[in-house]
Amino acid sequence: MKLTDLDLSKIIPDVSVAISTHIFGDLDAAAPAHAWIERAALQGEVMGRIVAVLMNEEICPESITQDVERCAGHMKEQITAAFRAGIRPGGAIITSLMAEQLARKGSSD
C-alpha cells in the first residue's frame, strides 16, 4: 500500500478527532468562549498543516516537497524501527511493548 492508495476524505476526519482530544481536552463547559475560539483556530492550523503535508505534491513547490519527504522518511525509519523492536520470532507483535515505546517516544519529542 502507498500513500496515494489512501482515501484522504476518510482519513482526515479521524485525524481531526484524534487531534481535537489534545487541543480541546482540558477545556470544559465553564471555559470562556474566547478559549474555545482560540483552540478552534489552533485546530484549523494543525489540520491545515497536516492536509498540506499529505497533499504537498499537488500544491507545494519542489523545495517544500523535498523537505516534507526528508521528514516523512525520518519518521518512517523511526516508527518502523520501533515496530521491528516489538516483533517476536514468527512475526507476532508484542503490543504492550509497542504501546510503551510509542508513548515514550511521543513524550520525549
- What angle is formed at CA 19 by the lines to CA 39 and CA 79, rounded to 5 degrees? 140
Greater confidence, 81 or 59? Answer: 81
Dist. CA 67–CA 76, nearest whole Å: 14
Tell me the per-residue pLDDT of 64-83, one tens digit each, with 9 for 90 and over. Answer: 778 777 877 776 787 677 66
Cell numbers representing residue 23 in the block: 487541543
Instruction: List pLDDT tens digits, range 5-54.
Output: 888 888 888 988 898 889 888 988 888 888 888 888 888 888 888 877 77
